[in-house]
Chains A and B, each alone.
Chain A
Amino acid sequence: MTFIPCDPRWGAPLDLSTQVKNWEQDTNAANRRKGNTAAPLVALAGAANHLLANQTRVLANAWTKDGAVEYTGTAPLFGFVFNDDKVNDEFQVVRLLYLPRRTGTGDCYLAHSIDGRTGNLGATITEPRWPEDLHYAEFYSERGVRADAAVEFLLNTYNGFTVTDAVVQEERHDQLNPAGHEVCNPNLAVTGNPCLADAAEDLRVGVRAARTTGLGAVISWTAKGSGGAWATGQTEPGDETGRTRVGTVGQGWLNFWDNTTAIRAPASAGNSVDVRNAGVGTATKAYLQCAVFGAATAGNNVGTSTVRFSGPYGDVDIEIANDTTATWYYATTALELNTTVGYDEAGAYSNRVDVYLRCEMGGSDPSAPYPNIFVYGLAAWLVVA
């Protein structure tokens, strides 16, 4: 690896113009072909790797308001999934704000369901005050199996560990290591030697991979579990507990975010998720992979429960099985975004993504109860289809 021949601040442009020259003048002032050496390519690979190592995605986050925090702190708390189609990120960092517990003497901590946990929280405060009594904790968590396309995990609290905000972010590196990471490999170019095209091709492939895999999450919502199960209560307006979102019958398509029962035009007013694809994807195509953490009930196993993600060019429906055990369901097709309005420094443009729920009667048994959907989590991340 070599030093990076540009301003180390990563907003600064990379300038190799002094090292990359096709022609130079000889002593008779005649132009002669110079050719390139490998040094600038090594530098460029180092720069690209440093850049990629610092572009740490936020994989998931969830938050609860002070009035809604759970001082008893029992598992589960939050359920998440994140995109894992890039193999560079062996660890995540879990960052937490928490309040002291009120009572109890057992081991009080938060744990990641795959790996990692906080230390035991010993202090007990009878009447903790928000935000004066907020504390910060962080720990590293090894992610799941490398071959996974997506990693599902829970954050679980025990014996009074009360979280008000959790942010899960990729581990930051200073440089990517060619031995263990998917990188722009500078070892293919030996400084001082002529630079051949295959080394540049390797770099190109690396940059391309960085732009098309391991893309960012744009929707992360989770209900708040408690007492060994997901809450079944419907969250009400103004209630910040983050309880389960329940879709019931007779409402047609029910807007997840604002309780309206009408399908809304993508650009119309209303509470939606705004997605800025931020230069990700190709010139004309960017998509969302959508997922739902949920369960459904239906008498006699008839009826259909559906979660719909609605974007500027159409919808993606995810059917939730008639099963009271919650699991993650993934859309089988991606939701297309409008790349021409995908990003603007002033924030003027974005794609609006709505989420709807619908429960339908099915079968011919008139006595069968209508189904209900219980949604415990939503997730979506950018993909290049």
Chain B
Amino acid sequence: MAPTYQRQYRPVTTQETAAYASLSVGAMRETCAAVNNTKGYVTNHKTHMLSFFPLFYPTIDGTNNGVQMVFAPRYVPDGYDKAVWWLGHQAVGGGTYDYTWTLRCTSRLYNGPDIYDSGFMAGNASSSSIVSTSATHGISHALIDLVRDHRGLCWFVLTGVTASGTGDSKLTSLDIQPVWV
């Protein structure tokens, strides 16, 4: 039974509320649809909701893939295979404005060097990138596969790199929200 309701909550009708009335299949089905709708669209609320007043710049610039942030983990229920992440950013500096932000989801704490080393993730990490190319502030989004540890915790790491060696980008906000897609 697929979700038949739209994304917003629709109150289930209450036409059968008499204590000794029999229950119709229609009412039962409607309740099922409401539960499915809740599962599908309420989603697990924001994972991170970081708005940085007013902004921060990458600590490690240049062509090395620098670790910019390491986040404390959070639980994401089974069933959410992906998260959508939104990044507020603005390209700054010279060069070709090619700074690439990469969000990584792993199953453990990253405590490797500040130049990202995938070996510390034992290969168990997903990644998703947003390229900051505009000198005008904007918010971009992308999907990332979720990777969990044995308790269902997702550990996120944000890295950044510029191919030209001269690009830079300032970061103003980061939101991560699990989605059912």
Q: Are A200 and B41 in contact (CB under 8 A)?
A: no
Interface residues on B, range: 35 or more
Q: Are A269 and B25 in contact (CB under 8 A)?
A: no
Whole-angstrom distance between the Cβ of A167 and the nearest chain B Cβ: 4
Whole-angstrom distance between the Cβ of B79 and the nearest chain A Cβ: 3
Interface assignment of A151: CB less than 8 Å from any CB of chain B: no
Q: Are A13 and B36 in contact (CB under 8 A)?
A: yes
In the complex, chain A residues 189-207 whose Cβ is within 8 Å of any chain B Cβ: 194-201, 203-204, 207
Nearest to A12 among chain B residues (CB) is B79
Residues of A within 8 A of B61 (CB): none
Q: Are A345 and B181 in contact (CB under 8 A)?
A: yes
Residues of A within 8 A of B170 (CB): 237-238
Whole-angstrom distance between the Cβ of A13 and the nearest chain B Cβ: 5
Q: Are B18 and A197 in contact (CB under 8 A)?
A: yes
- Supposing A238-B55, A282-B11 touch, asked if A131 and B27 sit within 8 A by C-beta, the answer is no
- Supposing A167-B73, A257-B54 touch, asked if A345 and B47 sit within 8 A by C-beta, the answer is no
CA distance A296 to B52 in the complex (A): 22
- Supposing A51-B35, A196-B21, A198-B19 touch, asked if A165 and B70 sit within 8 A by C-beta, the answer is yes
Interface assignment of A334: CB less than 8 Å from any CB of chain B: no
Residues of B within 8 A of A197 (CB): 16-19, 21-23, 27
Interface assignment of A289: CB less than 8 Å from any CB of chain B: no
Whole-angstrom distance between the Cβ of A381 and the nearest chain B Cβ: 9
Which of B14, B34, B80 is the most central at the interface, judged by chain A CB atoms within 10 Å of its CB? B34
Nearest to B116 among chain A residues (CB) is A131
CA distance A165 to B27 in the complex (A): 46
Q: Are B39 and A10 in contact (CB under 8 A)?
A: yes
Interface assignment of A54: CB less than 8 Å from any CB of chain B: yes
CA distance A199 to B36 in the complex (A): 19
Interface assignment of B126: CB less than 8 Å from any CB of chain A: no
Q: Are A61 and B72 in contact (CB under 8 A)?
A: yes
Among the listed A47, A51, A194, which residue makes an inter-chain contact with B22, where contact means beta carbons less than 8 Å apart?
A194
- Chain B interface residues toward A at CB < 8 A: 1-3, 6-12, 14, 16-25, 27-29, 31-32, 34-57, 59, 67, 69-75, 77-81, 84, 86, 88, 109-114, 136-139, 141-143, 152, 170, 172-173, 175, 177, 179-181
Question: Could you list 26 A-B pairs, sorted by A, with CB under 8 Å?
Answer: A9-B79, A11-B79, A41-B28, A56-B44, A58-B47, A58-B48, A61-B50, A66-B59, A95-B72, A131-B67, A167-B74, A172-B152, A197-B17, A197-B19, A197-B22, A200-B16, A200-B31, A207-B34, A207-B35, A208-B9, A208-B34, A257-B54, A271-B51, A276-B177, A282-B11, A284-B8
